[in-house]
Amino acid sequence: GRRVGAERVRLSLGAAMGAPSDGEGVLRLAFNRSRWSPEGEESGREFTFLLSCLTADEADKVMRFKFFADKQRALVSRLLQRKCVELCLGMGWGSIQIKRTKGKKPFVANANSGGKQARGMPNFNYNVSHEGDYIVLASEPVCIVGVDVAAPGQSRRNNVFSLDKVFSSFKDQLTEVEWTNIRCFGDEKSQEDAFRRNWSCKEAFTKARGDGIGFTLQRCEFIIEEAAKEALPFTHSATVHVDGKALTDWTFFLQPLGDHWVTVARGPPRDIVDAFGEFTKTLQKRSFSTGEWEREIQSGQPGFAVVGIRYPRDSLLSKCSLSPFPFALRSEKTRRLS
């Protein structure tokens, strides 16, 4: 079988970890695959080496994709997940058991063996998303978390955005209020951004809950507004109503990454939808007083740190296994989009 060892995968992500408070278990990571062009693509030794850092089953799923861009997304997503768990819970790389809920939310099945309660992370969980150029990951110690990245072009035909065409395809996914708010933006570029922000909020919300596509998206209605400057690099925040009821114990923050939009959704553990019950068993604190939850949900969070590949091209593979893990922090300017 494929050998997966912690000694093969090391990483120092100081600036990427931690919220303005204590920050234990809080990660916001983004990887731009368009800036990574490994020689030989999936057949080259760089991609092959990184693939060897996964389990045989994970590597097989990566290689099932037809196009290289999809293989990139799948590989980096799995590497980020394992590294996140290793960093936050201190678990050995090869001992991490990742499963998914019926709604496809990934979770660490043996998280309770990682001492997360003692580390102040009773409900450690994370979520990943990839579309277009970016693969993103967000993790939280107490709140349940969902993340979604929305790329430009996904809502276009022949590289042209038309709100009327998008409406005909997605009219039952958004509410009348949401469509009205999107139409308020006069030009097509702004309307496309507004649509992608709204879609990203819905996806992040259902991914945090754990039911994913099992949730009827028109049940939730988002009001998205520009955030205060203090929230940067998050430029927008949102509130949500589900079946007409405001969910005041959820927060949604949106950050632009280039021309992509990323939403982080955080909410209470009681809202988890877990048909199999395995993810729920990993949650060690589900009840909160009003004050406790207010402190948790309003706690600060970092913006996304963009990481890039750094591969020791002049080293033999036998030496690569002892080199630092090839994710190096790289900054990317955040610009406010309206």
Q: What is the DSSP letter of 325?
A: P
Q: Work out the pLDDT band at 153, boundaries 50, 70, 90.
A: confident
- Please give the structure tokens belonging to residue 172: 């039952």
Beta strands in the chain (DSSP E): 27-32, 98-100, 106-108, 125-131, 134-140, 144-150, 220-226, 236-242, 245-246, 251-257, 260-267, 305-309, 327-329
Output the pLDDT for position 204.
Answer: 97
Q: Work out the pLDDT band at 186, boundaries 50, 70, 90.
A: confident
Sign of CA dihedral 168, 174, 175, 180: negative
Q: What is the residue whose two structure tokens read 């729920």?
A: 280
Query: Topology of 27-307 in CATH?
Result: Ribosomal Protein L22; Chain A (3.90.470)
The residue-averaged pLDDT of 137-145 equals 97
Scored b (16 or more CB within 10 A) or e, 124-146 reads bbbbbbbbbbbbbbbbbbbbbbb
pLDDT higher than threshold 70 for residue 4: no
Residue 326 preceded by cis peptide, ω within 30: no
Q: Work out the pLDDT band at 176, boundaries 50, 70, 90.
A: very high
Output the pLDDT for position 13.
Answer: 40
- Is the CB of residue 240 less than 8 Å from the CB of residue 297? no
Q: Work out the pLDDT band at 90, boundaries 50, 70, 90.
A: confident
Q: What is the DSSP letter of 87?
A: H
Termini Cα distance of the chain = 50
74-83, 286-295, 311-320: lowest mean pLDDT where?
A: 311-320
180 vs 313 pLDDT, higher one: 180
Percent of the chain with pLDDT over 90: 64
Output the pLDDT for position 164.
Answer: 81
pLDDT higher than threshold 60 for residue 98: yes
CA dihedral of 63, 69, 72, 74, whole degrees rounded to 10? -60
3-state secondary structure of 239: strand
Q: Work out the pLDDT band at 1, boundaries 50, 70, 90.
A: very low
Most confident of 180-194, 263-277, 311-325: 263-277
Output the pLDDT for position 213.
Answer: 84
